[in-house]
Amino acid sequence: MTQPLRWGILGTGMIAGKFAADLSHTSQGSLIASGSRRQETADSFAAEHGGRGIAGYEALLNDPDVDAVYNSLPNGLHAEWSIKAMEAGKHVLCEKPMARNAAEAETMFDAAERTAQLLVEAFMYRTLPAVQTLIEMVRGGALGQVKLIRSNFSFAREVLDGDARYQAAQAGGALMDVGCYCVNLTRAVMGSEPTDTACFAHLHEHGVDDYAAGVLRFGDKTLATFTCGMTVANDWTTYIAGDDGEIAINDPWLGDGTFTLTKGGETRTIEAKTATPVYALEAEAFATAVGSATPWITREDTLGNMQVLDKLREQAGVPVPA
């Protein structure tokens, strides 16, 4: 039986709030404490989500009641505080993307090996049963030879002062914030790395890409296109087409537990629903991995994704922090 984890959360932003709220829907974890730079912010978060509010990230890492840390800090702080957490004897679930670049991610995994702690990149959507079923079906040949993949993840939100998504030094931008999902899903569906990539991006006045479009080629058979953005809202449906059928999933990132399979002129709905919220599923998957199971996002998967993101940013003229 999986041992329940006692969680500490680094950061008190939007994603931290979603993780904390969903954590109450699983018996495999509980929120012990949340850390913020300011005590009043930490206390406000704790009042809403439970646990204790702690001023300072170091203090949270030194809390003996915390087994695992969810690092929801900006991208540029992932490596520093994840490594410090592991050195303090905590397992780490680090929000995507894992780091500012692939080399930095490598140092994080080296630290995990050195400290004998678990480090997993928090692509929560990969714990959804519908997404797992979809990947298994495509890899199992349900569509025949996969030829075209089309995905999108974008949103339109007011640009706020201090938003790390618009800070080049923090490895902000649409490719890193949401394009990373499209790249991850495409690679997962194919079960391999792209042989060629191309990318174009629009640079925002703050110096990061606010929307982008890319192509991934897998050998001479499969082409995958994706779009992503932080200042444009459009449909999230992903299409995967082969010479024997097509799958369409309306929202692979949060999902309603369904997707469609069209073959031979007939369309049927595939259901793989769950009543468990997505971040609770993620917490459960992490607890299982702590118990020596293979994590749903492996070291190799994360490094492969980061290497593709490095290439795409370079090709699009987007700053890649060293």
What pLDDT does 157 receive?
Answer: 87
Q: Which of 136-145, 153-162, 174-183, 294-303 has the lowest mean pLDDT?
A: 153-162
Closest Cα partner for 190 from 153, 154, 151, 229? Answer: 151
State how far Cα 127 lies from the chain centre: 11
pLDDT given for residue 288 in this prediction: 96
More confident of the two residues 162 and 106: 106
Mean per-residue pLDDT for 263-282?
A: 97
Cα–Cα distance between 82 and 317 in angstroms, integer? 28
Residue pair 275/256 in contact (Cβ under 8 Å)? The answer is no
Q: What is the mean pLDDT of the chain?
A: 97
Q: What's the pLDDT tens digit per position in 162-192?
A: 899 999 999 999 999 999 999 999 999 999 9
| Closest to 67 (Cα-Cα) out of 2, 160, 161 | 2
Alpha-carbon radius of gyration of the chain: 19
**Mean pLDDT throughout 39-51?**
98
Using the predicted structure, report yes or no on whether residue 160 has a pLDDT greater than 90: no
The pLDDT > 70 percentage for the chain reads: 99
The closest of 279, 262, 281 to 270, measured between CA atoms, is 262
Query: Is the distance from CB of 273 to CB of 130 less than 8 angstroms?
Result: yes
Q: Count the residues in the chain.
A: 322
pLDDT at 3: 79
pLDDT of 209 above 80 = yes
Task: Report yes or no on whether pTM surpasses 0.95.
Answer: yes
Q: What is the pLDDT, as a whole number, of residue 1? A: 52
What tens digit of pLDDT does each residue of 219-248 get? 999 999 999 999 999 999 999 999 999 999
Domains of the chain: 5-124 (3.40.50.720), 126-275+298-316 (3.30.360.10)
Tokens 């992903």 -> residue: 238
Burial of residue 243, with CB atoms counted within 10 A of its CB: 0-12 exposed, 13-18 middle, 19 or more buried? exposed
